[in-house]
Amino acid sequence: MKLSQLIACKEPLASLEIKGVTDDSRKVKEGFCFVNTQNDNAYVKDAVSKGAVAVVNGEGCDFENTLIVEDTRKAYAKITSNWFSNPTDDLILIGVTGTNGKTSITYMLRAILEYTGEKVGVIGTVGNYIDGETIPAINTTPNPWYLNELFSKMREKHCKYVIMEVSSHALAREYLYGLNFRVAMFTNLTQDHLDYHGNMENYFLAKRKLFEICETAVINKDDEYGRRLLGEVSCKSVSYSIENESDYMAKAIDYKPDGIKYQILTDSINTIKVNTGGRFTVYNSLCAIGCATTLGISIADISAALAKLKGVKGRAEAVPTEKDYTVIIDYAHTPDGLKNILKTFKECKKNRLIVLFGCGGDRDKTKRPLMGEIASLYADYVIVTSDNPRTENPAEIIKDILTGIPNGFSSYKVIENRKEAIKFALSFGKKDDIIVLAGKGHEDYQIIGKEKIHFDEREIIAEALEQI
């Protein structure tokens, strides 16, 4: 492929034959075009030494076949799309962004669309899905090369829709530049990723970028940032809510540990049932309904599809134990996520609510004491342990968490080893207790140092129950 087929340029660059494209100098091979998205010319030198025949850069450099562009990240997004022959031209893109709820909403929408007979692709945290085939996910929103490779495979499988979880990192890094979304959804915004964005304002502005490239926005009106977004978007918008007047409202909500039921107020009154508990499930389903109706799907089909959906792995997932207590695995790893899951089960507990959680290393440290405070406020007993410590000392992470636990709260225990902490929680459980293992969710690994170690809480629970 000629360089001019990938990006606008003049001779002699235009006629250069390109055999591959990457923004990672380690992956450069003979005949490649290297896009310097890091804007570090040390990578250019490395790429050229490995055989790059063209370089796309933000400034001039010693290599003669260099194309200077204003924004290398935007250029890379466009180049990779062109490399794969612009696969999104034949796909309808649906995006969901926000701090919590993204994965559950993609599962709900997939269920709704497949119920109506459509072929669907999903890109997200738990995994990437192409018309029945699941492919492991590397990031919530992949980099432009992998993203367009997935789009290309979805086009080959004749998918009509692609439902994407859209991360703030991907938006800030222009991974989605040049794309157009039929519908974009906003769930909520609470503290997370401040180690990357610096503050909540930057975090919000990154999320808002998705609504600059969509035709219709579906927005949570009960969220403070959602209300702000409703006032700032220029595209068509619809709102959903439990507490405020909106286009899609839930009333007469019936909460149970294993599901919710409510009346939805649109042009008429309809009953919605979902087989996952919690107030957050009401919000997630309202968001999915707002999107699906925007796509022209009837409320009858939506209701039938949601009633059949079994639930999402690692999202308020009840683990079979044959014990007289309940064990829940949930991905809650933010203050708001932990608060939501604990409030959900606090409302329906018959005995004690026990929570086990930790915080990830090399990530936002300011949320650690907040999560310690929330755990002690909503749970009857707290077990503080490790999550993905990465290169941090787990003991130091735990120390940060403990600063948020009030002095008068003594019903907690520290067990640094997460496997041992889970075993303790199960042996500590009594009749009608609810034990929430928070933080890992769908993940079947733990990151210690720079090594990813197999760690599936379902397996650990089964092993521990054999020993109790």
CA–CA gap between residue 431 and residue 150 (Å, rounded): 47
Evaluate the CA torsion angle 146, 151, 152, 158 in order and state its sign. Answer: positive
- What is the residue whose two structure tokens read 């439902």? 163
Q: What is the pLDDT of residue 399?
A: 98
Which pLDDT value is given to residue 192?
Answer: 66
- Could you tell me which residues come within 8 angstroms of residue 156 by beta carbon, excluding any fewer than 6 positions away? none
Distance CA 21, CA 413 (A): 51
Token pair of 306, please? 């949601």
Confidence of residue 461 (pLDDT cuts 50, 70, 90): very high
Cis peptide before 142 (omega within 30 of 0): no
Q: What integer is the mean pLDDT of 216-227?
A: 97
The model's pTM is: 0.82
**Phi, psi values for residue 236, rounded to 5°:** -60, 140
Q: Quick check: do 87-308 and 317-467 share a fold?
A: no
- How sure is the predictor about 196, in pLDDT bands with cuts at 50, 70 and 90? low
| Residues 108 and 73: beta-carbon distance below 8 Å | no
Axis-axis angle for helices 279-294, 335-346 (nearest 10) = 110
d(CA 318, CA 364): 29
For residue 127, pLDDT over 90 is answered with no
Confidence bin at 302 (pLDDT 50/70/90):
very high
% of the chain with per-residue pLDDT over 90: 83
Top-level class of domain 3-71: alpha beta
Given a cut of 90, whether residue 198 has pLDDT beyond it is no
Q: Is the pLDDT at 221 greater than 80, yes or no?
A: yes
Q: Which is higher by pLDDT, 76 or 193? A: 76
| pLDDT over threshold 90, residue 140 | no
- Give the Cα separation of 136 and 125 in Å (integer): 9
User: What pLDDT is recorded for position 421?
Assistant: 98
What is the structure's pLDDT at 44?
A: 96
Q: Grade residue 212 by pLDDT with cuts at 50, 70 and 90.
A: very high
Domain 87-308, what fold?
UDP-N-acetylmuramoyl-L-alanine:D-glutamate ligase (3.40.1190)
The predicted structure's pLDDT at residue 21: 98
Phi-psi category of residue 251: left, alpha or beta, with phi > 0 → left and psi -120 to 50 → alpha: beta
Dist. CA 349–CA 58, nearest whole Å: 58
What would the mean pLDDT of 362-387 be, rounded to a whole number?
Answer: 96
Picking from 205, 118, 208, 206, the residue whose alpha carbon sits closest to that of residue 163 is 118
Residue 427 token pair:
């042996």
% of the chain residues with pLDDT over 70: 98
Alpha-carbon distances of 200 from 7, 195, 237, rounded to whole Å: 35, 11, 23
Residue 234 has pLDDT above 80, yes or no: yes
Q: Is the pLDDT of residue 305 over 90?
A: yes
The Cα angle at residue 55 between residues 49 and 58, in degrees rounded to 5? 125
What CATH code would you report for 317-467?
A: 3.90.190.20
Q: How far apart are the first and last CA of the chain?
A: 63
Residue of higher predicted confidence among 267 and 183: 183
Q: What is the mean pLDDT of residues 63-76?
A: 96
Indicate whether 132 pLDDT > 90: no
pLDDT given for residue 197 in this prediction: 65
Q: What is the pLDDT of residue 3?
A: 97
Query: Minimal CA–CA distance to 220: which of 100, 93, 316?
Result: 100
Q: Are strands 317-319 and 326-330 parallel, antiparallel or unpaired?
A: antiparallel
Residue 312: its pLDDT value, please? 78
**pLDDT(292) > 90:** yes
Residue whose entry in the numeric block shows the structure tokens 């790429």? 47
Q: Which residue has the higher pLDDT, 458 or 259?
A: 458
For the segment 245-253, the average pLDDT, to the nearest whole number, is: 95
pLDDT of 269: 86
Q: Which of 16-20, 133-137, 149-153, 445-449 has the lowest mean pLDDT?
A: 133-137
pLDDT per residue over 337-353, tens digit each?
Answer: 899 899 988 988 899 99
For the chain, what is the mean pLDDT?
Answer: 94
Quote the pLDDT of residue 194: 63
Phi, psi dihedrals of residue 245, rounded to the nearest 5°: -60, 130
Q: Can you name the residues that pair with 224 across neighbouring β-strands?
A: none
191 pLDDT band (50/70/90 cuts)? low
Looking at residues 444-449, what average pLDDT do you find?
A: 94
Mean pLDDT across 354-359: 98
Strand partners, 93: 162
What is the model's pLDDT at position 340? Answer: 87
Report domain extents, the chain: 3-71, 87-308, 317-467
Give the C-alpha separation, 299 to 291, whole Å: 11
3-state secondary structure the chain: CEHHHCCCCCCCCCCCECCEEECCHHHCCCCEEEECCCCCHHHHHHHHHCCCCEEEECCCCCCCCEEECCCHHHHHHHHHHHHCCCHHHHCEEEEEECCCCHHHHHHHHHHHHHHCCCCEEEECCCCEEECCEEECCCCCCCCHHHHHHHHHHHHHCCCCEEEEECCHHHHHCCCCCCCCEEEEEECCCCCCCHHHHCCHHHHHHHHHHHHHCEEEEEEECCCHHHHHHHHHCCCEEEEEECCCCCCEEEEEEEEECCEEEEEEECCCEEEEEECCCCHHHHHHHHHHHHHHHHCCCCHHHHHHHHHHCCCECCECEEECCCCCCEEEEECCCCHHHHHHHHHHHHCCCCCCEEEEECCCCCCCCCHHHHHHHHHHHHCCEEEECCCCCECCCHHHHHHHHHCCCCCCCCCEEECCCHHHHHHHHHHHCCCCCEEEEECCCCCCEEEECCEEEECCHHHHHHHHHHHC
The predicted pLDDT at position 193 comes to 61
Over its C-alpha atoms, the chain yields an Rg (Å, rounded) of 24
Cα separation, 195 vs 65, whole angstroms: 37
Which residues does residue 35 pair with via DSSP β-bridges, in sequence order? 56
Is pLDDT at 102 greater than 70 in this prediction?
yes
In the block, residue with structure tokens 């290398």: 72
